[in-house]
Chain A
């Protein structure tokens, strides 16, 4: 279980997060929702150590991650798919995938894990020797997610995976995510502005507004609360 407690982050005089708490369970998708500037991306960046919090802690199965270097947090099984630009465009699809597994696997184990990802995303397999810059938006997102999955992470943090994707591609992505997560021991934190599609696959949801948690509840309850939806989620 990934636990965030009392997390506050400031960029200079600007408070990005204030006393944020979050519990994300194994085998579940926890959606983090909210408008632009609500602090969703900052929350993920703080969990992976890219941003240092002014106070608060992040723990994974009881072990404190706060204060560790990004590279070490990755080594604890936290895979972060950053917003939009996660794929390294100047290298090939295969090299991107290899990079995802490089820190945790030897050559033969890596080959097996990479083939699994190619089976999951056959489109990537066809383009494995092409530069990632030649991929479409949807393919890039597949590659970014595949590159996170290849290391068999304990926690996967996804930042706006639906950004810029056609609705049908988003739907495919979400159902793939649901199938991979439910009943597995992976913990998924899904940051989305597209609240409707995130709530359709998540079990839990946290709504952020101006850096504070407005509500943390079952996804179904959040989806059912029309006041909340109108106020913070725009649908």
Chain B
């Protein structure tokens, strides 16, 4: 019983990180129909920058905020320089470019910070909370993960639903040409989408770093899990990213807890296959628009 509870709690914490990763992928996919395979590497890079800043004596929260801000800029720069010139070309072109970026970023990180695993400090204690005399596998840091990912999810949904900027973003995603005819500067909206995506990705990178073996490759597996979460959620909705993240987190955690952690990627793969067979459009996919 206590194993089950602990594995479940662990799954929730992991799931929130995958949800943040999935949110990043969703931001970009719904705006440009591109899966950004470099999302994890970009997050890794900004987290390593935070690591360097910490190393130079900067405060934890200053470094944390700096990594998010650098993520914002990195996302915008990547869209402007690498992705924008490929507009109107076959969709495979930008996808290949993101894979190239993944390799370049990991190579650069390796040459700057080395390829060996380091330790990234957590924001809060990682020892389990106590309820009475029972200690559970959910720490102050996990509470922080839960809170910060929920905060970014709520902020995203509020942005889309209640602000004029969000309306412009939705219009640009659903009907870019019509949006332009209504004066929306769709190009800027796309840049902003990539920037916000990179912030969500950077957050995931910062949150998962303390529990990972922190090397330039530590986000690879998280990208796979985040991608699984995004696909389960339908690749287009923030709510889907959250639910997909939780499902993936729980599934991966149960596989790890009961079958052994080396089977976790396989578990995610099996989950992805089942999800694609059962509901290929995802849980939260918007209904196909009917054109009359």
Chain A: residues with CB nearer than 8 A to chain B?
A: 48, 50, 70-71, 74-75, 79-80, 82, 84-91, 95, 98-100, 102-104, 133, 137, 140, 147, 151, 164
- Smallest beta-carbon distance B73→chain A, Å: 24
Q: Is B171's CB under 8 angstroms from A71's CB?
A: no
Q: Does B124 contact A (CB under 8 A)?
A: no
- Name the residue in A48, A89, A91, A137 with the highest tally of chain B Cβ atoms < 10 Å from its Cβ: A89
Q: Which residues of B contact A (CB under 8 A)?
A: 164, 167-168, 170-171, 174-175, 177-186, 286, 289-292
CA distance A87 to B182 in the complex (A): 11
Instruction: Report yes or no: A104 in contact with B289, Cβ–Cβ below 8 A.
Output: no
- CB neighbours (8 Å) of B181 from chain A are 48, 50, 70, 74, 79-80, 82, 86
> Is the pair B182, A50 in contact by a Cβ cutoff of 8 Å?
no
Return chain A residues, CB-CB under 8 Å to B291. 84-85
Give chain B residues whose Cβ lies under 8 Å from the Cβ of A90: 170, 174, 286, 289
CB pair A91 B292 closer than 8 Å: no
- Complex Cα distance, B164 from A102, in Å, reads 8
Q: How far is the CA of A98 from the CA of B170 in the complex (A)?
A: 13
Bound-state CA distance A63–B267 (Å) is 63
Question: Can you give 16 A-B contacts (C-beta < 8 A)?
Answer: A50-B177, A71-B180, A71-B183, A74-B183, A85-B175, A85-B291, A88-B178, A89-B174, A89-B289, A90-B174, A90-B289, A98-B164, A102-B167, A103-B183, A137-B292, A147-B182
Report if A88-B183 is in contact (Cβ < 8 Å); known contacts: A98-B167, A133-B289, A133-B290. no
What chain B residues lie within 8 Å of A75 (beta carbons)? Answer: 183
Chain B min CB distance to A204 (Å)? 24
Q: How far is the CB of B210 from chain A (nearest CB, A)?
A: 39
B170 neighbours in A (Cβ, 8 Å): 90-91, 95
Contact A102 B182, beta carbon cutoff 8 Å? yes
Q: A99 vs B179: C-alpha distance in the bound complex, in angstroms? A: 8
Q: Which residue of A lies closest to B177 (CB)?
A: A50
A50 and B179 CA atoms in complex are apart in Å by: 12
Given contacts A82-B178, A103-B183, 10 further A-B contacts (CB under 8 A): A87-B178, A99-B167, A99-B179, A100-B182, A102-B167, A103-B182, A103-B184, A137-B292, A151-B183, A164-B292
A223→B133 CA distance, assembly (Å): 92
Give complex CA distance A90, B170 in Å.
Answer: 9
Which residues of the other chain, B, contact A98 by a CB distance below 8 angstroms? 164, 167
